[in-house]
A and B are shown apart, each in its own frame.
Chain A
């Protein structure tokens, strides 16, 4: 009996110390692996953030370039060509003879009026003066009026919180106007719709904007419909003013965007 117990003790000692050591070693290996995974995940997240920031930066620069191109084109095509026309008219050989004629003067005046209007349009596009002078509501109405059909049926706005939107800080109001402008231009470009609805209201103490069109919509899962520059512009502007947004769209079901400003209403 004693002999059997003695034989077992060797085995037991090896089993006990070996078992515990094995436990510790496996624990350490698992721990190190877990740690490596954590580090890798962290790096991946960091890299993803960096590339997102880079992408945003690229979009900002690209849209700046596009904007410059557009202004250049507007100046060249509208103001430039009208001024050239005017010069040519004034330069004509028979000008002296016709100088006194009322028809020529009227043409000149028309051209000058057109140039004035073009310059106004360009500068309004660059920075809507109504926003600084009269606030968000008027600026939005001015924007809508410049786009709406003659009968005013394309865009319909419901603003329940005018008093609040007019008190928005300039940068926030400007960002929202730009976002709505971009959304409307997207809808007109791709959506082929006859109706756009914009509602601005108070959602649990936060300013919310619901944008909806009845256009053709698109499949958000489709790679072809990945965020274009317009959408990225919208995203970076909303990020800048700390606003959250959700998009709801499907082929044939129109497009809707819900924006919530994350700063509480005054």
Chain B
């Protein structure tokens, strides 16, 4: 089935680019600690979801229910990642509470507020905000230089995560609005938005890959 030219970037190039960090991570997996292993699982989840989304879209089946489930799984993995890198007790306790509260919020959201056939424009921005908070908390924690900053893989991965979730915050929020009206103009806006999203995602993948490349025997 032929994919329109405008969707090649968002539908093929970027989803496939997840193989770059996966490849890098696979080569460095022996040296990876617990935080990096969690990121490895996150990349695998991304890969599976990308494949699933593309397959469903090709079958003309609405793939948005996958997004609802993915949001919860993504949040859980990201939370475990930050739980393993943040040393502050308060941060750890808050993440543990959110690990219970957020999935409940997502389920309540798709059961009572937003259909699973729509974008979860309440859950995804909230998730992005929480993850941004964790990312900034990690920045605050690593503000006292012990070793050379650039040598720590987690720092690079953290930058990627912050860049992706903050940049895509607006896209997560307005994704339903732009598909409501299916005329040509809104379609173009939609394409632009998801191109920007794909670019941010690509940057995150590259930064994660770069982070894994800094992973060495300690």
Contacts and interface: CB of A to CB of B under 8 A. Distances in A.
Interface of A: 6, 9-10, 13-14, 16-17, 20-21, 23-25, 28, 31-32, 34-36, 38-39, 42
Nearest to B196: A17
B162 A28 contact: yes
A28 B167 contact: no
B167 A17 contact: yes
A28 B159 contact: yes
B51 interface: no
Contacts of B150: 32
B149 A6 contact: no
A21 B166 contact: yes
Contact of A17 (B143, B148, B170): B170
Given A13-B192, A28-B163, 13 more contacts: A10-B192, A13-B174, A13-B193, A14-B196, A16-B170, A20-B169, A23-B166, A24-B166, A28-B159, A31-B143, A32-B150, A35-B149, A39-B145
Contact of A39 (B148, B159, B186, B189): B148
Contact-size category for B? 20 to 34
A55 B107 CA distance: 68
A22 to B, nearest CB: 9
A38 B145 contact: yes
Contacts of A14: 192, 196
Nearest to B139: A31
A102 to B, nearest CB: 83
Main SS at interface, chain B: helix
10 contacts: A6-B186, A17-B168, A17-B170, A24-B167, A25-B163, A28-B163, A31-B139, A32-B149, A34-B143, A36-B149
Given A17-B196, A38-B145, A6 B189 contact: yes
Interface string B177-211: 00000000110110011001000100000000000
User: Which has the most chain B C-beta neighbours within 10 Å: A14, A17, A21, A31?
Assistant: A17
B134 interface: no
B36 interface: no
B171 interface: yes
Given A9-B189, A10-B192, A17 B171 contact: yes
Interface string B154-174: 000001001100111111001
B144 interface: yes
Nearest to A5: B185
A20 B145 contact: no
Contacts of B174: 13
B32 to A, nearest CB: 23
Given A17-B168, A17-B196, A31-B139, A24 B163 contact: yes
Nearest to B193: A13
A1 to B, nearest CB: 13
